[in-house]
Amino acid sequence: MTEKLPKYDVFQAIADPTRRDVLYLLSLQKQSIAEISSHFDISRTAVVKHLNVLTEAGLVRGEKNGREKIYYLQPEPLQELQDWLTYFEQFWHNKVNKLKYIVERD
């Protein structure tokens, strides 16, 4: 009971540059916490915290494999971000729409 409501959404998850770097790393190759950590100057504990945030946002998934935990990219939640962006695209993507916006704005 008392379902733990997710604290981090996609928008918050990608706000941190370290977490964006983690996502990039995982887009190249699934890898263990130790491997991921080796790319950063911060402690392994700190990296794990970032992985937990990304997991809560649904952007990665970790699977136990022996004594290692292998993390995978789980890109689907980025669709929410794309949807959000698509709405705003009309305001700058092409000059016709941009002009339309500027005229109608006032």
**Positions in the binding site for DNA (CB under 7 A):** 7-8, 12, 15-16, 18, 32-34, 37, 41-46, 48-50, 53, 62, 64, 66-69
- Told to check if 89 binds a copy of itself by CB under 8 A, we report yes
Residue/partner pairs of 97-105 with CB below 8 Å, 24 or more apart:
none
**Residue carrying structure tokens 């009971």:** 1
- What token pair was written down for 103? 């005229």
Span of 35-43, 49-57, 61-69, 75-83 interacting with a copy of itself by CB under 8 A: 75-83
**Residue carrying structure tokens 């950590």:** 37
Q: Report the distance separating Cα 94 and Cα 71, nearest Å.
A: 39
- The number of beta carbons lying within 10 Å of the beta carbon of residue 57 is 22
- Told to check if 106 binds a copy of itself by CB under 8 A, we report yes
- The number of beta carbons lying within 10 Å of the beta carbon of residue 41 is 7
What is the closest distance, in whole angstroms, from the C-beta atom of residue 103 to a copy of itself in the complex?
12
Choose among DNA, a copy of itself, none what residue 63 binds, the Cβ cut-off being 5 to 8 Å by kind. none
**Residues at the contact surface with a copy of itself, assessed by CB under 8 A:** 11-12, 14-17, 20, 23-24, 27, 29-30, 72-73, 75-76, 78-79, 81-82, 84-85, 87-89, 91-92, 105-106
